[in-house]
Structure 1
Amino acid sequence: MPKQVDREARRRDVVDALFRVVVRDGIQRASLRTVADEAGLNIGSVRHYFAGQEELMRFAMRSMLDRVGDRLRRRIEEFGELSGLPAPRIRDCAVELLGELLPLDDSRRAEVTVLVDFSTAARTDPALDDLARETATATRALVRRILARLDTAGGLRPDLALDTETERLTSLLDGLAFTAVLRPDVLAAGTCATVLRAHVDDLGPATG
């Protein structure tokens, strides 16, 4: 009998190969042929699972968004209720969550690299624009949710405007992520973590 192939598993294998090509060579080199070679498949097999380059790119970008989103939701659930914790510990939780969006280790660096390349490509590719917009919107929603939880738990100064702080913090995360991926010789992962920590601590209530 012919071997049964799990269609969704094979599509994920192709997407993982696409991510490796993007991280190593850039999105401009991620053609169906190079992705097929990376996955150890012939191009006809890749076309069996994806009608063309656009479908593959959209599926890959959606997979990346879902992967990061699911991980963040799990982390938020793990932290549980923050009220009653000391303000510094509350901010520790926020830093850990927000750090998931920064290239602080090899796994997150690969994710951020892919997202940076996709977001840049979407500037001139209408086929990716809606997903790039969704990424930007989802990042802001996540940042605002974290800040709102900090505020409710007493981890923020009472005079802060959450809408303004959401944009400030989102812009900081974007700047750190893009620079650390594009110029790792200029901005190291450790510095990203230090800057994020300093910013979140500055949002806290005065002590002493």
Structure 2
Amino acid sequence: MPKKIDHTERKDHIIEAMFRIVHRSGFEKATLREIAKEAGLSLGSVQHFFPKQGDIYIDAIEEIYSRFKARMDEIAHHDDENIFDNAVRMIKQIVQASTEEERMENDIWMKFSIMATMNPDYHEAKNKSREVNYSFAKEIVMMLSENGFLSKDESIDEAANTLTIFIHGLVFETVMYDGLYDEEKVDGEVRRYLNGITIK
């Protein structure tokens, strides 16, 4: 009797194979054929789940968002009396530099964003990425504001937009110059930024 395939597990296995290829060699090398080879599957097996190249790209970036959001939600609901430290931890959930997996996810996110800028088929997914990050940045800014860390004249939307720009810039730095950044360095950069915008 043939072994029953867990479709979710198989899709995850294929996406993980794609992640490894993109991290090593970029999206241009992540063809369905190469993904099948990396996953140890036939091309037909991969195409059963992802008939077109774009299908796996969209699912893969959705998986990255899902992982980001899970970490964001976990820290956002962390019961911590120190609001400033909580904001630092929340930002570090996006600017990740503590594990190889976290660095890989940021590398893939950055490569996808660059590819999507040049391909209209992926503009919606790219824009969703910024919306997710902006929404999270706004949550951090609102938390700081509600606890008296920001001036009452400070615009929440403008502060959230500026924080989003800072986060994207730091993500880019940690991916491009990973040898310069460890968790302690990222922590210091985030604290320096927040000290610059808070009044406590």
TM-score range, shorter chain: over 0.9
Matched, 1:109 2:103: yes
**Residues 91-113 of structure 1 deviation map (CA, whole Å, 9 limit, x = unaligned):** 10001011011131222211111
The equivalent of 1:75 in structure 2 is: 75
- Correspondent of 2:122 among 113, 128, 132: 128
Q: For the Cα contact (< 8 Å) 1:91–1:201, is it kept in 2? A: no
Equivalent AA in structure 1 for residue 26 of structure 2: G
**Residues 141-179 of structure 1 deviation map (CA, whole Å, 9 limit, x = unaligned):** 110111101111223333422222112211111111112
**Residues 44-96 of structure 1 deviation map (CA, whole Å, 9 limit, x = unaligned):** 111111112111111111111112112211221223xx6xx4xxx21100010
The equivalent of 2:83 in structure 1 is: 90
Q: Quick one: percent identity of the two aligned structures? A: 26
- How many Å apart are 1:204 and its aligned residue? 2.3
2:77 and 2:186 map into 1 onto residues whose CA distance is 25
Q: For the Cα contact (< 8 Å) 2:23–2:104, is it kept in 1? A: yes
Equivalent AA in structure 2 for residue 167 of structure 1: N
2:29 and 2:198 map into 1 onto residues whose CA distance is 45
Q: For the Cα contact (< 8 Å) 1:103–1:181, is it kept in 2? A: no
Gaps of 5+ in 2: none
1:118 and 1:168 map into 2 onto residues whose CA distance is 22
The equivalent of 1:197 in structure 2 is: 191
Q: How many residues align?
A: 198
- The 4+ residue runs of structure 1 with deviation greater than 6 A are none
**Residues 14-50 of structure 1 deviation map (CA, whole Å, 9 limit, x = unaligned):** 0011111111111121111111111111211111111
- How many Å apart are 1:184 and its aligned residue? 2.5
Matched, 1:61 2:54: no
**Structure 1 length-normalised TM:** 0.89
1:102 and 1:134 map into 2 onto residues whose CA distance is 18
1:121 and 1:45 map into 2 onto residues whose CA distance is 26
Matched, 1:177 2:177: no
Gaps of 5+ in 1: none
Q: CA RMSD in A?
A: 1.6
